[in-house]
Amino acid sequence: MKLPKYPLASSDKLLTFEFISEGQKGLIHKLVRYQPTNLKYVYNLAFGDKDHSTGDIDDTVISNNGDSEKVLTTVVATIYAFTDKYPNAWIYATGSTKARTRLYRMGITKFLSEVTADFEVLGERNDDWEPFKKNIEYEGFLVRRKKK
């Protein structure tokens, strides 16, 4: 996606990324972390504000910094970087609330043609997986880089 995004810093293994959101409420440090699950090749995408006291992700804060599209584009950039290094990985993502999951669905929908050019995208509904379709409420998402 050729949209503005923030500069990223990452760990050597590309499991953790950090960037700074710049907006109406100032500078807000963000973290994206890819966490292995108990399923081979499946990683959970954790994302949120950086808690400066613990260094962990706080995915309950509502930043409202006025740059949500740029933030989501930056998170997508981490998915490209992560899947460049781990091409067999499946990435699971869901919001910490229904509203956040809806926000992710809207982002996928808005850029669906670009996303599906590079990724397989599945939506979770009623404990089952199906190819992502517009206008369907999903509980989570699973993406994997398409083989070239």
CA angle 126, 134, 71 (to 5 degrees): 95
Going through the chain in order, the beta strands assigned E by DSSP cover 9-10, 16-23, 26-36, 42-50, 57-58, 90-93, 119-125, 128-131, 140-145
Against a cut of 0.85, is the pTM above it?
Answer: yes
How do residues 11-32 score in pLDDT, each as one tens digit?
A: 899 999 999 999 999 999 999 9
In a domain, 37, yes or no: yes
Q: What are phi and psi of 102, to 5 degrees?
A: -65, -40
Count how many domains the chain has. 1
At 36, the amino acid letter reads P
Structure tokens belonging to residue 67: 């740059």
Provide the pLDDT confidence category of residue 67 given band limits of 50, 70 and 90. very high
Q: Provide the residue count of the chain.
A: 148
Domain that holds residue 56: 9-145
